[in-house]
A and B are shown apart, each in its own frame.
Chain A
Amino acid sequence: MKSGIEKKKARWGWFFVLPAIIYFSIFSFFPIINAFRTSLYRWNLLSLNPPRFVWFENYIRLFQSEAFWNSVKATAIFTVGTFSSLLIGGLALSILIFSRKRFRTFFQMALYSPAVLSTVVAATIWLLILDPRGLGNSVLNAVLGTSGKDYQWFANPDMSRISTIIIYFWKYIGHFTILFIAGLSSIPYTIHEAAIIDGAGPWKKYWRITFPLLKPTVVLVCVLSLIQCMKSFSTQYLFVQSGAPRAPIDVLTLSIYDTAIRDHQIGRASAMSIILFLTLILFSWAQLRLSRSEEVSFQ
Chain B
Amino acid sequence: MKLKGMFLVGILLICAVFAATIELTVWTHEDPNRTLLEERYIEEFQKLYPEVSVKRVTYPSAKIKETVLTAFSAGKGPDIFNMEVQDEYPYIVNRRVAPVNPAALGYKNVEEIYAAYLEGTLDPVSYQGKLYGVPLEITNWCIFVNTRYTKALGLDFENNYPKTWEELMEVSDKLTLRNGEIITRRGFDFRYPYYLTIFTPMVEQMGGYLLNKEGTEAIINPQAWVEVLTFMKEWGPSGRNLGSPTYTAARKNWNKDDGSIVMIESGLYQILRLKAENPELYESKEWMVIPWPVFENAVNHVKGNYYGHYYVVNAQSSPEKQEWAWKLIAYMLKHTGEYFEEVGLIQPTYELMESEVFKNFPYANVFMEDMSQAGCVLLHQAGPRLEQLIREAVESVMLSGVTPENAVKTLKAKATEVLEDY
Contacts and interface: CB of A to CB of B under 8 A. Distances in A.
A245 B69 contact: no
Interface string B167-204: 00000000000111111100000001100000000000
A216 interface: no
A245 B94 contact: no
B65 A261 contact: yes
Nearest to A49: B94
Contacts, number: 94
Nearest to A61: B421
A157 B401 CA distance: 10
Interface in B366-422: 384-385, 388, 391-392, 395-396, 399-400, 414, 417, 421
Contact of A241 (B62, B69, B91, B388): B62
B334 interface: no
B216 interface: no
Interface in A137-183: 137, 146-150, 152, 154-157
Which residue, A45, A131, A247, has most C-beta atoms of chain B within 10 A? A45
Interface stretch (A89-97, A98-106, A262-270): A262-270
B245 interface: yes
Contact of A46 (B91, B178, B246): B91
Secondary structure type dominating chain A contacts: loop
B96 A263 contact: no
A242 B182 contact: no
B244 A243 contact: yes
A48 interface: yes
Contact of A155 (B66, B237, B248, B417): B237
Interface residues of B, number: 39
Interface string B31-46: 0000000000000000
Given A45-B69, A46-B96, A264-B69, A245 B385 contact: no
B73 interface: yes
Contacts of A67: 414
A262 B395 CA distance: 19
A193 interface: no
B97 to A, nearest CB: 10
B395 A148 contact: no
B182 A148 contact: yes
A58 B118 CA distance: 44
Contacts of B181: 148-150
B69 A132 contact: no
A131 B384 contact: no
Which residue, B90, B179, B237, B392, has most C-beta atoms of chain A within 10 A? B179
Given A245-B399, A245-B400, A131 B247 contact: yes
A44 interface: yes
A123 interface: no
Given A132-B247, A155-B244, A246-B392, A147 B400 contact: no
Contacts of A47: 94
B182 A132 contact: yes
A67 B192 CA distance: 22
B55 interface: no
Contacts of B66: 261
A244 interface: yes
Nearest to A127: B248
B246 A132 contact: yes
Interface in A23-51: 44-48
A242 B385 contact: no
B90 A46 contact: yes
Contacts of A137: 182
B130 interface: no
A155 B246 contact: yes
A132 B183 contact: yes
Interface string B56-70: 000000100110011
B388 A150 contact: no
B117 interface: no
Contacts of B392: 245-247
Given A46-B94, A243-B247, A262-B385, A147 B180 contact: yes
Given A155-B399, A243-B247, A150 B391 contact: no
A208 interface: no
Contact of A243 (B73, B178, B192, B414): B192
A270 B253 CA distance: 40
A48 B91 CA distance: 10
A154 B72 contact: no
B301 to A, nearest CB: 30
Contacts of A66: 414
A154 B246 contact: yes
Q: Which 7 A-B pairs have the closest CB atoms?
A: A148-B180, A243-B245, A150-B181, A154-B246, A46-B94, A243-B246, A148-B179
Given A48-B95, A244-B246, A261-B66, 12 more contacts: A48-B94, A148-B178, A148-B180, A148-B182, A152-B237, A156-B400, A246-B395, A247-B392, A247-B396, A261-B70, A265-B421, A266-B73
Interface of B: 62, 65-66, 69-70, 72-73, 90-91, 94-96, 178-184, 192-193, 237, 244-248, 384-385, 388, 391-392, 395-396, 399-400, 414, 417, 421
Interface of A: 44-48, 65-67, 131-133, 137, 146-150, 152, 154-157, 241-247, 258, 261-266
